[in-house]
Amino acid sequence: MERQRRRARPAGRPPRLNKPDVTVAAVVERDGRFLLVEERIAGRLVLNQPAGHVEHGETLLAAVVREAREETAWCFEPQWLLGLYRWQNPHSGRTFLRFAFIGTVHDHDPRQPLDTDILATHWLSANELRQQHSRLRTPLVMRCVEDHLAGERIELATVATLTRDTALAYASTATVRSL
């Protein structure tokens, strides 16, 4: 979930300004309706795609599958990268870098408890979302829906994960090629 997580900063170390929080979001459309979560943030009920922070050591794809399951009790299967979105919260100044994925859901478990901040899940049309624009958690929610409807799609293969070993292998190959 895209909730605030602050780490203690060592004494004497200045804050890194504009360091983005990396998040993922699942964009799911079924029969003209989009899967959304209703959550309470700072006392306000808002709508959002199933979304959240990427945990340490987690890939982007694993994060979006995990977040969708935790927040909706659906198993999300990513099929496309919709896009990368940078947004700065005008109130807190925090910057978010959102990787939005398009996919399908299956294997719903209605007995599974949802994340504590999630009150309900909803399937809403784009028009219903437009009518509730003041309830959207961020402008990214509607932007992702509009981009999806416009046919934006990026191959999942572009989302590469390099481990330390594969990064070193690529680095040595690049060095050899440049000689």
Q: What pTM value is reported for the model?
A: 0.81
pLDDT of residue 175: 52
Residue 156 belongs to some domain of the structure: yes
Residue 10 belongs to some domain of the structure: no
pLDDT of residue 158: 87
CATH number of the domain that residue 92 is part of: 3.90.79.10
Residues near 97 by Cβ (< 8 Å), separated by ≥ 6? 20, 21, 22, 23, 84, 85, 86
Tens of pLDDT along 55-93?
Answer: 998 999 999 999 999 999 999 999 999 999 999 999 889
Number of domains present in the structure of the chain: 1
Distance CA 67, CA 50 (A): 6
- What domain range is 52 assigned to? 21-178
pLDDT of residue 2: 46
pLDDT of residue 42: 85
Residue 7 belongs to some domain of the structure: no
Low-confidence residues of the chain, pLDDT below 70?
Answer: 1-18, 162-179
